[in-house]
Amino acid sequence: MGIEFELEGTGELETSLKKAMKQYPASAERVLKKEARRVAKDLKQRVRTEAKGHHYVSEGETHKPLANSFRPGKVIRSGSKMTAAVTSNAPHYHLYEEGHGMFTHSGRYVGDVKGRKTVARYMSQRSEKADEIGEQVLNEILKEVGLD
């Protein structure tokens, strides 16, 4: 059970669709980079309010707020999938996010520190906007090939 159709006189449409197929990777990468910048900015604001007093030191510099550690990373291609990474350059951020055991200076275990799960909560809320991102990619491709 297959669907077959034939179009005649669609030379312009065919060339536009071929152009759109070639344009997809660049357009998708551009939208993902923009989205990664937006996510890094949003995480910076969230962590600033939730992580008061958490700082990190970067090679002899003064203490920096943990919120300033977020950076949009590269767009990673894996087969037909594309992923935009947002990274933190704070060496202890995973402890803040995931939690850790608390020990005294003598090495005695005191208890556990719960993770804040700031990024996990934000990304679960953000996943609802995946359709909007897909529409942005599609609209940008159509605009570039003149089919908007």
Examine residue 106 and state whether it is found in any structural domain, yes or no.
no
Residue 136, domain member (yes or no)? yes
Please say if the pLDDT value at position 10 is more than 70: no
Question: How confident is the model over 108-134, as a mean pLDDT?
Answer: 88
Is residue 102 one of the residues assigned to a domain? no
Taking CA atoms, 22 is separated from 25, 82, 101, in Å, by 7, 15, 51
* pTM (two decimals): 0.72
Domain count, the chain: 1
Q: What is the pLDDT of residues 50-84, one digit of tens each?
A: 877 666 666 666 777 788 889 999 999 998 888 99
Name the residue range of residue 24's domain. Answer: 13-89+129-145
